[in-house]
Amino acid sequence: MSLRVRDYMTRNVITVQPDTTVREVINLINATGHDGFPVVDSEGKLVGYISSRDLLRKPATIKVKDIMSTKLYVAREYMDLRDAARVMFRTGHSKLPVVDENGKLLGIITNADVIRSQIERANPKKVEKLKKTIETVHGIKVNVKKGKVDVDRLIPTQTKIFADELKGRIYELRRGLAEPVVVISKGGKLLLVDGHHRAVAAKRTGVKKLDAYILEVPNNVELGIERLAKKKGLKSVGDVEVIEDVPHPLVEITFRNMSH
């Protein structure tokens, strides 16, 4: 099935009114970090878009309706996500308001959402391979579901991560780009199989929950990664060591390839 705009768009959108002043928009930009906002009327219909560029050299008291862009590219929630991406690419826009047939604002889709959709699509194959491996080795049936997990409940199965990779994951997490972690649920325990950098990034940035692929395994099955976690004394994400001086192997390989 193709991905649709509705699957990845942001629904809770910060908007402004036509009578909002330039000063108020600047304050909103400073407060949110956004570079622009859809403009909606009293009925929630999209009537324009105001960007930080529109505000340049404008008097603080001038109203949005006098300087906003009114010729807009928009998306519909049922559009194929690739079609929305093509529109953004060809027009040079980083985001598109999403409206219904009456012009009412439903959400917004950004190029970051498109990137996130591609990152997340890489995981199901990895999860399916792990599922089949566990089922084959232990002769059991493994159920897979997608949900959210508490970061503080995760039991790591990896002792070390790289500081440079951690910085990248923190960047992704803050911008909503992080792919789901992979977790085995067994007897009330949540064993972290894939996504240690993401989990540590979440812990450091105060993110309480992460999206996850959860593999449900019967409690009477003894897993090798569970024995490893016990042997290494790993009980929480805080037990994972962050290596500061050594770059991630992939970064080192990339650097060397580009230097020749």
Pairing of strands 46-51, 241-243: unpaired
Q: What is the pLDDT of residues 63-74, one digit of tens each?
A: 999 999 999 999
Pairing of strands 241-243, 209-216: unpaired
Indicate the Cα dihedral angle 70, 76, 81, 87, nearest 10°.
-30
Residue type, 13: V
Pairing of strands 160-162, 143-150: unpaired
- CB proximity list for 159: less than 8 A, separation 6 or greater: 232, 234, 239, 240, 241
CA–CA separation, 108 vs 212, rounded Å? 24
Coil, strand or helix: which one is 165?
A: helix
Q: What is the pLDDT of residues 163-198, one digit of tens each?
A: 888 988 898 888 777 788 999 999 999 999 999 999
φ and ψ at 221, to 5 degrees?
-95, 125
Q: What is the pLDDT of residues 140-154, one digit of tens each?
A: 999 999 999 999 999
Looking at mean pLDDT, say which of 47-51, 133-137, 223-227 comes out highest: 47-51
Residue 1 pLDDT: 54
Mean pLDDT across the chain:
89
For the chain, where are the alpha helices, taking DSSP H only?
A: 5-8, 22-32, 81-91, 111-120, 123-138, 163-174, 196-205, 224-232, 249-259
* 126 vs 237, more confident: 237
Confidence of residue 119 (pLDDT cuts 50, 70, 90): low
Walk me through the domains of the chain, giving residue ranges and CATH numbers. Answer: 5-117 (3.10.580.10), 122-259 (3.90.1530.10)
- The answer to whether 136 and 201 are in contact (CB under 8 A) is no
Identify the CA nearest to 199 among candidates 166, 233, 229, 248.
Answer: 166
In this structure, is the dihedral angle defined by the CA atoms of residues 123, 178, 144 and 227, taken in order, positive or negative? positive
